């Protein structure tokens, strides 16, 4: 599948939709079923600003007035993440213009399933670099909430940071409780191991966020 940045593509399509008082936005090439960037915010203007800041400056875009079937499907997945549901992606994320390390971190975080968290340190151990480098990638995640950076927490299992706000991070994790009891390992690319922990490990550490 060719990248949306390949010669011949003239336009990135941008869609917005509100679900339960949260605005979601998608930048995509619908014909190729590729997601260029996603975002969420409390207002349409904020989510558009967030999304536009993620786009490459030299690629033209168009804000669409109506939703395509493809965009509707992606919005359903984004809303399902907010409801703590398991989602399966049948599209690809455009990462070919991202730094190699950023791509490695994002692909590792994609492997953290609902009901679990990992830590900045554990992700760094799996892909290289240090916890701060992983945190920087999470802070610039172009695909929130689909790539679940809300499932990455500090080494002591406190929440750490989150672009959508710590209250939102806490709420997302609360909805993802599944009652798992033990940590486990996930095999990521090249056979590297990412350690993950029941989400309750963090929720028990942080009683509430106002």
User: Does residue 29 carry a catalytic annotation?
Assistant: no
- Provide the token pair at 192: 């590297």
CA angle 119, 191, 183 (to 5 degrees): 40
CA angle 56, 59, 60 (to 5 degrees): 130
Question: DSSP H helical segments within 1-130, as ranges?
Answer: 44-54, 69-82, 100-109, 120-127
The H or E element spanning position 175 is: helix 166-175
Cα–Cα distance for residue pair 190/205, rounded to 1 Å = 33
Catalytic residue among 112, 149, 194, 203: 149
Q: At which residue do the structure tokens 């992700």 appear? A: 123
- Provide the token pair at 16: 């917005």
Tell me the catalytic residues: 149
């Amino acid at each position: 599948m060719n990248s949306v940045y390949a010669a011949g593509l003239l336009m990135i399509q941008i869609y917005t939709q509100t679900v339960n008082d949260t605005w979601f936005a998608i930048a995509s090439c619908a014909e190729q079923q590729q997601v260029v960037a996603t975002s969420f915010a409390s207002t349409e203007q904020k989510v558009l600003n967030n999304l536009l800041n993620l786009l490459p400056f030299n690629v033209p875009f168009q804000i669409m007035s109506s939703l395509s079937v493809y965009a509707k499907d992606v919005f359903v997945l984004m809303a399902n993440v907010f409801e703590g549901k398991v989602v399966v992606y049948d599209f690809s994320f455009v990462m070919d213009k991202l730094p190699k390390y950023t791509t490695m971190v994002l692909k590792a975080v994609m492997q953290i399933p609902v009901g679990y968290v990992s830590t900045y340190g554990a992700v760094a151990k799996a892909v290289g670099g240090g916890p701060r480098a992983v945190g920087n990638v999470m802070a610039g995640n172009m695909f929130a909430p689909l790539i679940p950076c809300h499932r990455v927490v500090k080494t002591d299992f406190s929440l750490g940071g989150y672009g959508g706000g710590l209250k939102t991070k806490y709420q997302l994790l609360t909805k993802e409780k599944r009652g798992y009891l033990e940590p486990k390992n996930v095999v990521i690319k090249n056979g590297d191991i990412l350690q993950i922990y029941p989400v309750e490990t963090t929720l028990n550490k942080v009683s509430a966020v106002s």
